[in-house]
Amino acid sequence: MSGPTTLLKALDYSVLQQCMHCGLCLPTCPTYLETGNERNSPRGRISLMRAIADDALGPTRGFAEEMDYCLGCLACTTACPAGVDYATLFETARAEAEKSGARSTPTRSLIRFFTLGILLKRPWALRLAARMLRFYEQSRLRPLVRKSGVFSILPRRWGEWERQAIPIRSRFSDSLIAPVEKPAGFARRRVAVLTGCIQDISFSDVNRATVDVLVANGCEVSTPRNQPCCGSLHAHNGDLESARELARRQIDALDPANLDAIISNSAGCGSHLKRYGHLLSDDPAYADRAAAWSLKVRDISEWLVDIGFRKPDAPSHGAKSVAVTYHEACHLCHGQKITAQPREILKAIPGYELRECPEATMCCGSAGVYSLTQPETAAWLRDRKIAHLLSAGADIVATANPGCQLQIELGFRRSEAEAPKAPRVAHPVVLLAEAYRSETQVPLQKP
């Protein structure tokens, strides 16, 4: 059985004990909905973690697979009456599973080293890889490679990955945003914007829009260059040591003392950034600083509502009527309990009508790298999500996380047969920035 160094055993037992196995989490858990098997539910997983802490089970392959099957969507934490800290349990359990090596294969280790160890630790490496990927996506190489039949001899998953490869922007955040941008008048607040990893290479326009709306609301915005990854993907994938290292780097890079807020526009990052205090609580040199740092973190929608953002005026040529529905990113609604603020922003935009869709708080299957590691479940969740989004009959799907946006866009591309005119997918802050811009536009002159 496991030795005394077991991570789950080292964890404060009361965190495990807090689960009273009442089962109220069951109907909110996507994997339990898929299988109806308790092992695939939050209370089932916690019972396995507790069995390891109690020495009744070793960190087996079955355990490791189960922890990988969990999306980490945290829907259970919203349903939980007892306030179980599932985020901590999940991160510790995944780290336990990785440490045991129960699922380790040479390919898996290599992929983990390349992604978690290199790409997501070195901003320059990620950007270089992104530029290479963009070259591949834009060039005539892609159709050639696809036609060559190379994917028929590689494992099937590789072809799937190639099709899911994220679209890369021609320009990243640093070339779109100045290091410091000031509002026209008096700067009432000073904030820093975090540009993220995927957000930076695939959705740099969201970062630009974030700075636009902050400046429009009287904030002086600093955007540090060459930002490191926040470490959320490391923490969620069982590499807590790297997560801590990246957190320290982030804290060193950005002094919160002179800032009113540290702004994140990516739900997954924000949810993790708010846990730095927790992540580094055992590090005497950083514990206090990390706690103070986390207290300054705000999601962009949260911050805009906090400061009473200005509602955009209707453009002088009149606002077009637009139906918008909102998909809640798990790490915004469950991870940060932010649900009202993004809706307030959407409702403030002239001409917008917010139409709720069923299961708005259910995971879309993106979940970090889940769509790559568990393609079947991810596809099932994606199709379920797409059907609910389409049922709202909206022109726009708003969502505040890059992973969700990629997953939903992919889903719409796949369902084009049934929905020839798929809705546009956009971050609420992009929509708000557009509304501010169209205020100032001169109406078209009739010839």
Partner 1 sequence: MIDALIQLLGRENVLTEPEDLIPYSFDATAVLKQMPRAVVFAHSAAEVSGVLKIARLHRTPVVARGSGTGLSGGSVPVKDSLVLCLVKMDRILEVDERNFTLRAQAGVLTQAIYDAADAAGLFYPPDPGSMKVSTIGGNVAENSGGLRGLKYGVTRDYVMGLEVVLAGGEICSLGNKCVKDVAGYSLKDLFVGSEGTLGIITEVLLRLVPRPQVRQTLLATFERMDAAAETVSAIIAARIVPCTLEFLDSRTIRCVEDYTHAGLPVGAEALLLIEVDGHPAAVRDDAARIEELCFRHGATSVRLAANAAEAARLAAARRSAFSALARMKPTTILEDATVPRTELAAMIRFIQETGAKHRLEIATFGHFGDGNLHPTFLTNERDADEMHRVELAMKEIFAKALSLGGTITGEHGVGLAKKAFLRDQLGDASLALLRQVKRTLDPENLLNPGKIFDL
| Stretch of residues binding partner 1 (CB under 8 A), selected from 59-67, 197-205, 211-219, 348-356 | 59-67
The answer to whether 321 touches 353, Cβ cutoff 8 Å, is: yes
356 lies in the site for partner 1, by CB under 8 A: no
DSSP H or E segment with residue 425: strand 424-426
Identity of residue 30: P
Count the neighbouring beta carbons within 10 Å of the beta carbon of residue 344.
15
User: What letter would DSSP give residue 228?
Assistant: P
| Stretch of residues binding partner 1 (CB under 8 A), selected from 53-61, 144-152, 205-213, 434-442 | 53-61
Q: Distance between CA 318 and CA 16 in Å, rounded?
A: 56
The answer to whether 120 touches 234, Cβ cutoff 8 Å, is: yes
> How many residues lie near partner 1 (CB under 8 A)?
31
| Stretch of residues binding partner 1 (CB under 8 A), selected from 18-26, 190-198, 221-229, 234-242 | 18-26
CB of 27 to partner 1, least distance (A): 6
Q: Facing residues of 396 across strands?
A: 324, 424
DSSP H or E segment with residue 111: helix 106-112
CB of 57 to partner 1, least distance (A): 6
33 lies in the site for partner 1, by CB under 8 A: no
Q: Which is nearer to partner 1, 26 or 247 (CB)?
A: 26
Q: Which is nearer to partner 1, 41 or 294 (CB)?
A: 41
| Stretch of residues binding partner 1 (CB under 8 A), selected from 61-69, 185-193, 240-248, 394-402 | 61-69
Signed CA dihedral, 257, 263, 267, 269: sign only = negative
Q: Which is nearer to partner 1, 14 or 170 (CB)?
A: 14
Helical residues (DSSP H) of 310-415, grouped into ranges: 330-333, 340-348, 370-373, 375-391, 402-414
Site string for partner 1, 83-122 (x = CB under 8 A): x---------------------------------------
Select from 36, 106, 185, 284 the one that contacts partner 1 (CB under 8 A).
36
Q: Distance between CA 360 and CA 380 in Å, rounded?
A: 16
Select from 63, 203, 326, 412 the one that contacts partner 1 (CB under 8 A).
63
- Cα angle at 186 between 347 and 204, to 5 degrees? 55
List residues near partner 1 by CB under 8 A. Answer: 13-14, 17-18, 20-24, 26-27, 36-39, 41, 43-45, 47-48, 51, 56-57, 60, 62-63, 66, 81-83
